[in-house]
């Protein structure tokens, strides 16, 4: 199975359809360990390829027990985005279920049963909003029919509210539980004629609903990756190759084995070069009775490495050569008009280079996974964003059938793209199979920072031209960074179409001459995707450049953005883009690129932040606008410098059009958190490599924004919309860094061309 | 290996552990109190915060032999029914996102309120600066502490 990148969730020739079905009780009990009589429904959410329908694949189950409890299977991974709450809310609301009588059960990883479970790319709500509504509506119709038949009344005279069907005329009512057994005997309603509620009658959708795991999280009961315990379980801490692709020449484990509690030392064969996205690095595992003994045992290992070709890698030198490469002509990926003409006739040329570093995900929960191998079957408990890929990768590494591997998904202590990659899960599985003992692999913080799948560092150069009337006449954007694809295939030297689709190729502004070029670079460490992926560096360069262009033209940057988005249009970039425009895996018919919606968020944020108002001495505002993951976002950040020179961020305003908002509280919380994640990217974090090794070891080297450095107030202004819902996990991140950089310029007169910049 | 006697959440406990084993791993691996989380092992992130007496400490760098007679309180022992004013405020403000760092945040805030029952915003920022949250829940943490303090 190929990895599903966040920006290519399905092939363009595939369509999604969903149907509701009645599964057998045995099947349901098998998958959910739930028993008891009542109504059972499944949702089949299928990918239909060219001319053929894939096999029957129920994704989501819901059941109503006779004791009036609604159970909904959550098949997506929970990592802080609130999806274990948001998707069931949709089902419950359509049903008319009492939210207090809904329980959520987490699904194991199984593509045949649940379809796509890759929780990445901000698409859970986008993908499952309609199927969830249909599932809820189906259940409601069946419950109402059961009640109407019992009472001998018209179905249309009954309503379902608070887990009861009510007949208002007679005052009769029955709970869902009392109706469940009879509803189970009825035919499924015709899906085409299924009546869905209108959004105005929703009680949960569009409201602030507390997350279902809240109480467990504040009492320490929530179960994360390292919290599962099995009898006889051992802990493994692994010394991995310090340089990607290095191999172990020899090792001495005597001192490690002498440490009380250490039981075994087991080598893990790595994938070498290229490292791949789903394979473990070469390493030596110390297996002990407790975590501390394993940590100490690892410290006592003596290993001689053959460091291999990446041992001379220096990220600073690569940055220099990437910057230099942008001075030459590259591979043209988008062309409109003739940029060279614009340049030769320009009244002014702005030529600027931008740099951004490698970033680590640094989830506060480092990777951890527990595996138990018994009688030819592997059972895993892991905080994974992509349980199916974990399952397939384990099967491949352990030479087993996927059917013999079960992956249970715990809560994730942060994901941000790191925990889609299953390398740590495979480590646990290999060790469990090798030793016959249940093994929990525990990564330390140092392991996490040294061996991440990093967000690629990048160099960009933007050349902008103004004509005689000071209009923006030309835009030439060069971008170069090691591609994610290069982690598996070293031949991939240019950013992929998918990566360019993340906020670079779809430059939306009305400029007569556009030329977007890429250059070659190579990967010498593992490159992966991090919350909003290439949008991070693309939005930084584009939005910072636009601010500088506005200044050169003597116009306001907000006014300029509105001016350059020109008339309302649906952009398709037709005839301009070489290769595919991904549109985050959706067609432009279903999810058009609408300048009107972008202008709308720009106007809204300017109004809410009172852009242009007189600010106190030592304060300044910066603006940025960037659409990503099909969500339209505009951002204004205010910064302030006190007498001591300390800079703080008093306010951040976001205006957001993400279509229908399901759980508005979780939308806001994603933007609040995204602003702080963006502050780390802008201000504090960077990974560098020297002699092939990562130079940051813990949070004293890889800095994250702490409470005092974070924005004090984050206002999230949601556009009231009835459009299809789109993602909110990633879109807050890209515009934050350039908004801060632009504010910093206004405050200090100094332009920022390199991330991270320390505002302190 | 040595036998250590600890008072954890009001209960005397005996554990067999190396002298240098951090309290964090004693709690998690030997006493099965898993609400205290590992984040960095170097007192950089605060996820492992517990109370030693009334003081917040990073259990990842405090060894079992350093605990001595002082009582240890973990998230599991902060309140009988999860109803400490901070826990209630955390729920009211829907503070957590992924939730992983939150037990450490709450324990750190509990020590702050014992020391400073009505903290200013600056007091809160200073006291909580050692606790990282990668999801970025700082503003709700601040609001929750302010409302619990009232």
Report pLDDT digits (tens) over A160-177.
999 999 999 999 999 999
Q: Are residues B55 and B92 in the same domain?
A: no
Question: pLDDT (tens digit, 9 = 90+) per residue, A561-599?
Answer: 999 999 999 999 999 999 989 999 999 999 999 999 999
Span A473-501, average pLDDT:
97
The CATH number that applies at residue B65 is 3.10.20.30
The CATH number that applies at residue B113 is 1.10.150.120
Please say which residue of B42, B77, B112 terminates a domain.
Answer: B77
A81, A83, A215, A220, best to mutate vs chain B, most B CBs in 10 Å: A220
The CATH number that applies at residue A33 is 3.30.365.10
The band of A4, judged by pLDDT with boundaries at 50, 70 and 90, is very low
Q: Are residues A338 and A250 in the same domain?
A: no
Kindly report the length of chain A. Answer: 760
- Separation CA A324–CA A317 (nearest Å): 11
Nearest neighbour of A669 by CB, restricted to B28, B97, B126: B97
Question: pLDDT (tens digit, 9 = 90+) per residue, A275-306?
Answer: 999 999 999 999 999 999 999 999 999 999 99
With CB atoms and an 8 Å threshold, state whether A714 touches B139: yes
Does residue A51 sit in helix, strand or coil? Answer: coil
Lowest mean pLDDT among A2-11, A45-54, A445-454, A681-690: A45-54
Per-residue pLDDT, A50:
37
Please say which residue of B77, B106, B129 terminates a domain.
Answer: B77
The band of A121, judged by pLDDT with boundaries at 50, 70 and 90, is confident
Q: In chain B, which residues have pLDDT < 70?
A: none
Indicate if the pLDDT at residue A369 is higher than 60: yes
Q: Are residues B89 and B73 in the same domain?
A: no
In this structure, what is the dihedral angle of CA atoms A218, A221, A223, A227, given to the nearest 10 degrees? 120
In this structure, what is the dihedral angle of CA atoms A515, A516, A522, A528, given to the nearest 10 degrees? 180
Q: Are residues B143 and B99 in the same domain?
A: yes
Residue A286 lies in a domain: yes
Q: Are residues A517 and A641 in the same domain?
A: yes
- Separation CA B112–CA B109 (nearest Å): 5
Tokens 């960095």 belong to: B40
Average model confidence (pLDDT) across chain A: 92
Q: Are residues A494 and A636 in the same domain?
A: yes
Nearest neighbour of A414 by CB, restricted to B95, B128, B135: B135
Please say which residue of A217, A248, A267 terminates a domain.
Answer: A217
Q: Which domain holds residue B90?
A: 85-149
- Separation CA A444–CA A698 (nearest Å): 9
Q: Are residues A350 and A283 in the same domain?
A: no
Nearest CA among B90, B85, B84 for reference residue B148: B85
Per-residue pLDDT, A107:
81
Q: Are residues A199 and A105 in the same domain?
A: yes
- Separation CA A683–CA A363 (nearest Å): 18
Q: Are residues A510 and A633 in the same domain?
A: yes
Helices marked H in A213-252: 214-219
Q: Are residues A232 and A210 in the same domain?
A: no
Per-residue pLDDT, A37:
60
Span A481-507, average pLDDT:
97
**β-sheet bridge partners, residue A17:** A46
Lowest mean pLDDT among A34-48, A64-78, A265-279, A527-541: A34-48
Task: Assess B29–A contact: CB distance below 8 Å, yes or no.
Answer: yes
Indicate if the pLDDT at residue A54 is higher than 50: no
Q: Are residues A180 and A260 in the same domain?
A: no
Q: Are residues B106 and B46 in the same domain?
A: no
CA angle A380, A385, A386 (to 5 degrees): 70
Residue A522 lies in a domain: yes
- Separation CA A756–CA A750 (nearest Å): 14
Q: Give the count of domains, chain B.
A: 2
Spatial CB neighbours of B5, under 8 Å, sequence gap ≥ 6: B12, B13, B14
Per-residue pLDDT, A51:
37
Q: Are residues B144 and B99 in the same domain?
A: yes
Q: Are residues B15 and B73 in the same domain?
A: yes
- Separation CA A51–CA A57 (nearest Å): 17
Spatial CB neighbours of A484, under 8 Å, sequence gap ≥ 6: A5, A277, A456, A496, A499, A527, A528, A529, A533
Q: Are residues A323 and A386 in the same domain?
A: no
Residue A556 lies in a domain: yes
With CB atoms and an 8 Å threshold, state whether B42 touches A699: yes
Residue A559 lies in a domain: yes
**Residue A68 tokens, joined:** 């009036």
B contacts of A654 (beta carbons < 8 Å): none
Per-residue pLDDT, A45:
54
Per-residue pLDDT, A131:
85
Q: Quote the DSSP letter at residue A527.
A: B
Per-residue pLDDT, A630:
97
Indicate if the pLDDT at residue A3 is higher than 90: no
Spatial strand order of the sheet with A172-175 comes to A158-161, A164-167, A172-175
A contacts of B126 (beta carbons < 8 Å): 708
Q: Are residues B54 and B36 in the same domain?
A: yes
Q: How far is CA A726 from CA A509, A628, A721, B96, in A?
A: 22, 10, 11, 22
Please say which residue of B77, B106, B136 terminates a domain.
Answer: B77
Q: Are residues A298 and A327 in the same domain?
A: no
Tokens 């505009």 belong to: A634
Q: Are residues B64 and B95 in the same domain?
A: no
- Separation CA A458–CA A579 (nearest Å): 21
Nearest CA among A155, A83, A90 for reference residue A129: A90
Q: How many angstroms separate the CA of residue B48 from the nearest CA in chain A?
A: 11
Q: Give the count of domains, chain A.
A: 3
Q: Are residues B116 and B70 in the same domain?
A: no
Q: Which domain holds residue A406?
A: 225-309+379-442
B23, B72, B99, B119, best to mutate vs chain A, most A CBs in 10 Å: B99
Per-residue pLDDT, A21:
64
The band of A35, judged by pLDDT with boundaries at 50, 70 and 90, is very low
The band of A311, judged by pLDDT with boundaries at 50, 70 and 90, is very high
Per-residue pLDDT, A189:
86
Q: Are residues A188 and A278 in the same domain?
A: no
With CB atoms and an 8 Å threshold, state whether A291 touches B28: yes
Q: Are residues B36 and B73 in the same domain?
A: yes
Q: Quote the DSSP letter at residue A622.
A: E
**β-sheet bridge partners, residue A97:** none
The band of A53, judged by pLDDT with boundaries at 50, 70 and 90, is very low
Task: Assess B33–A contact: CB distance below 8 Å, yes or no.
Answer: yes
B contacts of A290 (beta carbons < 8 Å): 21, 25, 29-30
Q: Specify burial of residue A463 (Cβ count, 10 A radius: 0-12, 13-18, 19+).
A: buried
Q: Are residues B90 and B27 in the same domain?
A: no
With CB atoms and an 8 Å threshold, state whether A218 touches B87: yes
Interface of B with A in 93-112 (CB under 8 A): 94-103, 106
Residue A23 lies in a domain: yes
Span A602-620, average pLDDT:
98
Q: Are residues A680 and A540 in the same domain?
A: yes
- Separation CA A630–CA A458 (nearest Å): 23
Per-residue pLDDT, A22:
63
Sign of the Cα pseudo-torsion (A581, A126, A84, A54, in order): negative
Does residue A683 sit in helix, strand or coil? Answer: helix
Nearest neighbour of A364 by CB, restricted to B35, B134, B141: B134
Q: Are residues B106 and B124 in the same domain?
A: yes
Check: CB of residue A91 under 8 Å from CB of residue A202. no
Check: CB of residue A307 under 8 Å from CB of residue A262. no
Nearest neighbour of A675 by CB, restricted to B18, B133, B136: B136
Span A733-739, average pLDDT:
98
B contacts of A80 (beta carbons < 8 Å): 96-99, 135
Residue A691 — left, alpha, or beta (φ > 0 → left; ψ -120 to 50 → alpha)?
left
Helices marked H in A96-175: 111-114, 124-151
Say which residue, A386 or A37, is predicted with more confidence.
Answer: A386
Does residue B63 sit in helix, strand or coil? Answer: strand
């Amino acid at each position: 199975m190929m990895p599903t990148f966040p920006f290519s969730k399905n092939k363009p020739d595939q369509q999604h359809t969903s149907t509701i079905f009645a599964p057998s009780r045995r099947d349901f009990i098998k998958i959910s360990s739930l028993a008891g009589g009542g109504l059972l429904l499944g949702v089949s959410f299928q990918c239909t390829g060219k001319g053929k329908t894939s096999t029957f694949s129920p994704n989501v189950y819901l059941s109503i027990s006779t004791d009036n409890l609604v159970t909904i299977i959550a098949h997506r991974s929970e990592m802080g985005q609130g999806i274990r709450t948001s998707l069931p809310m949709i089902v419950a609301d359509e049903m008319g279920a009492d939210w207090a009588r809904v329980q959520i059960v987490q699904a194991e990883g199984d593509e045949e049963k649940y379809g796509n479970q890759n929780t990445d790319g901000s698409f859970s709500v986008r993908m499952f909003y309609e199927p969830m509504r249909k599932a809820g509506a189906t259940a409601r119709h069946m419950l109402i029919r059961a009640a109407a038949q019992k009472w001998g009344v018209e179905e249309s005279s009954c309503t379902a509210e608070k887990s009861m069907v009510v007949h208002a005329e007679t005052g009769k009512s029955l709970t869902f539980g009392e109706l469940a057994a009879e509803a189970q005997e009825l035919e499924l309603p015709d899906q085409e004629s299924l009546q869905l509620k209108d959004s105005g009658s929703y009680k949960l959708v569009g409201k602030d609903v507390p997350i279902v795991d809240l109480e467990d999280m504040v009492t320490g009961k929530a179960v994360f990756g390292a919290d599962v315990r099995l009898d006889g379980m051992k802990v493994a801490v692994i010394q991995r190759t310090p340089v990607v692709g290095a191999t172990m020449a020899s090792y001495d484990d005597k001192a490690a084995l002498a440490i009380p509690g250490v039981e075994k030392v087991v080598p893990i064969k790595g994938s070498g070069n290229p490292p791949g996205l789903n394979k473990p690095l070469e390493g030596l595992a110390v297996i002990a009775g407790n975590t501390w003994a394993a940590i100490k045992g690892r410290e006592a290992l003596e290993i001689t490495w053959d460091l291999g070709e990446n041992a001379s890698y220096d990220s600073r030198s690569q940055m220099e050569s990437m910057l230099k490469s942008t001075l030459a002509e590259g591979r043209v990926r988008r062309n409109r008009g003739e940029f060279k003409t614009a340049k030769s006739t320009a009244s002014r040329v702005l030529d600027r280079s931008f740099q951004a570093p490698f970033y680590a995900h640094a989830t506060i929960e480092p990777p951890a996974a527990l595996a138990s191998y018994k009688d030819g079957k592997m059972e895993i408990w892991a905080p994974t964003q992509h349980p199916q890929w974990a399952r397939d990768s384990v099967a491949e590494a352990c030479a087993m059938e996927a059917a013999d591997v079960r992956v249970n998904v715990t809560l994730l202590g942060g994901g941000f793209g790191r925990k889609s990659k299953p390398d740590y899960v495979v480590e646990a599985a290999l060790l469990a199979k090798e030793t016959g003992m249940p093994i929990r692999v525990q990564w330390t913080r140092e392991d996490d920072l040294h061996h991440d799948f990093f967000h690629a560092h990048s160099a960009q150069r933007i050349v902008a031209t103004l004509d005689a009337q000071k209009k923006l006449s030309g835009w030439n954007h060069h971008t170069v960074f090691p591609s994610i694809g290069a982690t598996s295939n070293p031949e991939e030297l240019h950013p992929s179409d998918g990566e360019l689709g993340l906020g670079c190729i779809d430059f939306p502004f009305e400029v007569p001459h556009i030329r977007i070029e890429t250059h070659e670079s190579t990967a010498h460490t593992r490159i992966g995707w991090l919350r909003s992926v290439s949008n991070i560096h693309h939005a930084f360069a584009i939005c910072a450049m636009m601010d500088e262009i506005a200044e050169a033209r003597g116009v306001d940057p907000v006014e300029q953005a509105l001016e350059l988005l020109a008339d309302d249009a649906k952009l398709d970039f037709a005839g301009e883009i070489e290769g595919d425009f991904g549109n985050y895996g959706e067609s432009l018919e279903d999810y058009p690129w609408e300048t009107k919606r972008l202008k709308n968020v720009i106007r809204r944020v300017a109004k809410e932040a009172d852009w242009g108002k007189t600010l106190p001495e030592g304060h300044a505002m910066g603006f940025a606008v960037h659409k990503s993951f099909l969500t339209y976002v505009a951002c204004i950040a205010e910064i302030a410098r006190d007498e001591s020179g300390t800079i703080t961020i008093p306010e951040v305003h976001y205006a957001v059009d993400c279509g229908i908002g399901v759980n508005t509280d979780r939308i806001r919380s994603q933007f609040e958190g995204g602003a702080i994640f963006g502050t780390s990217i802008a201000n504090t974090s960077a990974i560098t490599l020297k002699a092939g090794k990562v130079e940051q070891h813990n949070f004293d080297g890889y800095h994250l924004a702490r409470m005092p450095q974070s924005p004090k107030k984050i206002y999230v202004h949601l556009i009231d919309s009835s459009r299809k819902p789109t993602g909110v996990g990633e879109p807050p991140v890209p515009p934050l860094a350039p908004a801060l950089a632009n504010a910093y310029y206004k405050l200090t007169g100094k332009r920022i061309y390199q991330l991270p910049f320390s505002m302190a | 290996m040595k036998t250590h006697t600890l008072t954890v959440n009001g209960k005397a406990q005996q554990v067999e552990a190396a002298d240098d084993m951090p309290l964090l791993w004693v709690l998690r691996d030997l006493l099965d109190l898993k609400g205290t989380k590992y984040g960095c092992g170097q007192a950089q992130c605060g996820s492992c915060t517990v109370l030693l007496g009334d003081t917040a400490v990073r259990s990842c760098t405090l060894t079992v032999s350093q605990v001595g007679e002082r009582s240890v309180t973990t998230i599991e022992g902060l309140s009988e029914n999860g109803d400490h004013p901070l826990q209630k405020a955390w729920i009211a403000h829907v503070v957590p996102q992924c939730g992983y760092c939150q037990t450490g945040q709450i324990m750190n805030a509990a020590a702050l309120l014992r020391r400073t029952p009505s903290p200013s915003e600056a007091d809160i920022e200073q006291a909580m600066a050692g606790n990282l949250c990668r999801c970025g829940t700082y503003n709700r943490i601040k609001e929750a502490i302010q409302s619990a303090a009232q």
